[in-house]
Amino acid sequence: MKFNDFKDKIDQKRREVDRNNSSGSRIKYLEAILDITSRINKTLILEDVLKQVLINAIQLAEADRGFIVLLNSENSLEYKLGINSTGNVLPSQLFQISQSVVEKVFHEKRSLFIEFAQSGEDDAPSKSILNLDLQTILCSPLITDDKKIGVIYVDSKSLRKIKNKEMTDTFEILAGQAAIAIKNAQLYKVQQETMKALRESNQNLRLAKIEAENSNKLKSEFLSQMSHEIRTPLNILMGFSNLLKEEFEEVSNKKHKDILEMFDLAGQRLMQTIDSILEMSQIQTGNYVLEPVRLNLHYDVLFDIAEKFRADSYRKNLGFVYSYHGTDVEIVADRFMVRQAISKILENAVKFTNTGVVSLIMEPGNGHGISVTIRDTGIGISEEYQRKLFTAFSQEESGYSRRYDGNGLGLAIAKKYLDLNSIKVAFTSTKDLGTEFTLQFNRS
């Protein structure tokens, strides 16, 4: 019964008594319960509720001591608190009661009140009742929402007249109100523990975020320093290589020219490898800044790329075709990332094509999009390897016997850049016939 409903019921009874100009001990007991209930509902701290319940139960029954046992997470009764008639908390080692009474009350969900316990007027006294020299026992189940949560138990070595309807009814009402207060306190405790765990979790997340930010800062500084330490001497070496090539320009010593050409190509390859590793590291650590701007796909991106790879293709005696259609070709994307992604796909197309042609085609796509296709007549990609095509550091041919150089990062980086700009990419390939990549852009 809710506290307000309970109070209304008592007020109604009081009015009935006033009308009859009589008083009854039942109303006296009910008013005592109202006062007790008011007190135990003033707090939501479980320990305080249990203490208030026991103190008032002992006073009501004029008992020597009282105990509360509650159902634990393992579905068994567990001692929670013991108090004597002077209000002092009893140590747990003094938790010696009639277990048979408690178990019976809990399982049968009904109260048990015993007078003359030593004489066994009701039932033969249990061994624990005899050993503890008990005379009076009041025990009620704690039930709320039809669920058992524990038992309240008080006893006395002195004989008390308790088996009257006013006393037994009052004790059961007290047990019912106590069960509600205890359940509310238990829920409040769970809530507080949950909030505490949530605060600790949030604090740990904040600390983890700070640590991650510091870690990313260190990674960024490391990458920047490594870039400087590796690029600087490499740029010097390549610069001197170009000077030497100019010096030998008019010299007909082919051997020297070939050596310098190999030196230059090796330097470019090393620089490209360093750039790819640094790019992939920045993507994986989040040390990049996405800067989307409005771009004309033809003039701002594809035109310069086509000129570069046309020259690269001619050096391999390959044909190169760049064709574009339409004037409404504006997009919003990070220029560097888009250029890098298309360049890395074209770089692979030229590298793995020995005869034929490499094509770069821009045309209106499905709906309001723009389609960019990169097609080659190269060696193609086996069906088995296609599922790993965008995996970092993976190559279809591996080991010292592979025919093509590279670090297996180009397409992985391209895919990351395209994903960051919400550009869809698809490909088809047939071994020994060629490969085609299609990029779908959204117009701005």
Q: Which structural domains are found in the chain, ordered by start?
A: 3-193 (3.30.450.40), 292-442 (3.30.565.10)
Tokens of 113: 């009140």
How far apart (Å, rounded) are the C-alpha atoms in residues 314 and 307? 11
- Are the C-beta atoms of residues 24 and 198 closer than 8 Å to each other? no
Residues 6+ apart with CB under 8 A from 298: 324, 329, 362
Closest C-alpha among 276, 267, 266 to residue 341: 276
pLDDT at 51: 93
Tokens of 119: 């004489």
Residues 6+ apart with CB under 8 A from 418: 337, 341, 424, 425, 439
pLDDT in tens, the chain (444 residues): 555 555 555 555 555 544 444 445 666 777 777 887 888 888 889 999 999 999 999 998 899 999 999 999 899 999 999 999 999 999 988 898 888 899 999 999 999 999 888 876 666 677 888 888 888 999 999 999 999 999 999 999 988 888 788 888 889 989 999 999 999 999 999 999 999 999 999 999 999 888 877 776 776 666 667 666 777 777 777 777 777 777 766 666 677 777 777 777 777 777 777 777 777 777 766 667 789 999 999 999 999 999 999 999 999 999 999 998 877 789 999 999 999 999 999 999 999 999 999 999 998 876 678 999 999 999 999 888 888 888 876 666 554 445 556 556 888 889 999 999 999 999 999 999 999 999 999 887
Model confidence, pTM: 0.50
How far apart (Å, rounded) are the C-alpha atoms in residues 365 and 348? 24
Closest C-alpha among 180, 135, 151, 164 to residue 5: 180
Beta strands, E only, 232-311? 292-296
How far apart (Å, rounded) are the C-alpha atoms in residues 84 and 64? 6
pLDDT at 280: 72
Tokens of 375: 């097609």
Full DSSP string of 2-54:
-HHHHHHHHHHHHHHHHHTT---HHHHHHHHHHHHHHHHTS---HHHHHHHHH
Give strand pairing partners of 154. 66, 138
354 φ, ψ (degrees, to nearest 5): -100, -30
pLDDT at 167: 85
pLDDT at 121: 63
Residues 6+ apart with CB under 8 A from 320: 306, 309, 310, 313, 314, 357, 358, 359, 360
How far apart (Å, rounded) are the C-alpha atoms in residues 118 and 108? 23
CA–CA distance from 206 to each of 197, 209, 327, 344 (Å)? Answer: 14, 5, 49, 38
